[in-house]
């Protein structure tokens, strides 16, 4: 991975770690594949439900607008995702890690191939952008959540790119926390979490 369909939509890897977590499903026919694809897209758009899809040890996810207000319903570009990671919180993010949904696209390449993706990037608290990036990774990092259909095959993948621990945070305790989480457990925990997510996206 990435497969040839999603490759143009994934940022170039140039620093730090890269991760790819995927699940795939073969449908019996193209009509069934379209149904699986559309259901997976709907599930992916409902970010507030990701914690339930990811299982017991997952982070909790909440869509938030630029005014800091919680948002129900499907995701859109320009919304923030507030992430409650198990363990110590991020002080600059008021106890949470934050990412911005910078792009969301639904692309039909041809009759047999479709791509839907959400790309998120570490950002500051929506009401305190001046305080710096409120995430354990620097803002070079991206997470791309991609659903593809290629004929009768549907694939769900999370691509992590340019994952560098955010050790330039102003608060010393945040530096330590981000270094420990970014270098140690969080990327591994994220991979387990994303594995559960991609699998759940494709289930009936």
Nearest alpha carbon to residue 3 among 142, 111, 122, 109: 109
Among the ranges given (17-21, 146-150, 181-185), the one the predictor scored with the smallest mean pLDDT: 181-185
What is the pLDDT of the chain when averaged over all its residues? 89
pLDDT digits (tens, 9 = 90+) for 91-135: 888 889 999 999 999 999 999 999 999 999 999 999 987 778 888
Distance of CA 187 to the CA centre of its chain: 12
Range 75-102 average pLDDT:
90
Residue 179 — very low, low, confident or very high, per pLDDT cuts 50/70/90? low
- pLDDT for 1 equals 45
User: pTM of the prediction?
Assistant: 0.93
Beta pairing partners, 155: 24, 148
Is 7-202 a CATH 1.10.10.60 domain? no
DSSP 13-78: P-SSEEEEEEEEEE-SSHHHHHHHHHHHHHHHH-GGGHHHHH-TT--EEEEE-TTS-B--SS--TT
- Residue pair 70/80 in contact (Cβ under 8 Å)? The answer is no
At residue 82, what are phi and psi to the nearest 5 degrees? -90, 125
pLDDT digits (tens, 9 = 90+) for 9-26: 999 999 998 989 999 999
């Amino acid at each position: 991975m990435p497969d040839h369909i999603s490759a143009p939509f994934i940022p170039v890897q140039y620093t730090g770690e890269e991760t790819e977590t995927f699940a795939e499903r073969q449908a019996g026919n193209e009509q069934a594949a379209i149904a699986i694809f559309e259901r997976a897209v709907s599930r992916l758009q409902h970010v507030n439900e990701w914690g339930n899809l990811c299982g017991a040890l997952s982070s909790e996810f909440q869509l938030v607008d630029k005014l800091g207000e919680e948002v129900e319903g499907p995701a859109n570009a320009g919304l923030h995702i507030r992430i409650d990671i198990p363990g110590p919180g991020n002080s600059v993010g008021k106890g949470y890690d934050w990412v911005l949904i910078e792009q969301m696209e639904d692309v039909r390449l041809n009759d047999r191939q479709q791509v839907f993706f959400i790309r998120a990037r570490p950002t500051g608290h929506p009401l305190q952008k001046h305080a710096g990036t409120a995430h354990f990774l620097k803002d070079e990092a991206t997470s791309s959540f991609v659903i593809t259909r290629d004929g009768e095959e549907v694939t769900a993948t999370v691509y992590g790119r340019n994952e560098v621990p955010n050790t330039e945070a102003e608060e010393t305790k945040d530096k330590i926390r981000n270094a420990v989480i970014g270098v140690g457990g969080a990327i591994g925990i994220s991979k387990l979490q994303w594995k559960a997510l991609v699998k759940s996206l494709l289930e009936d």
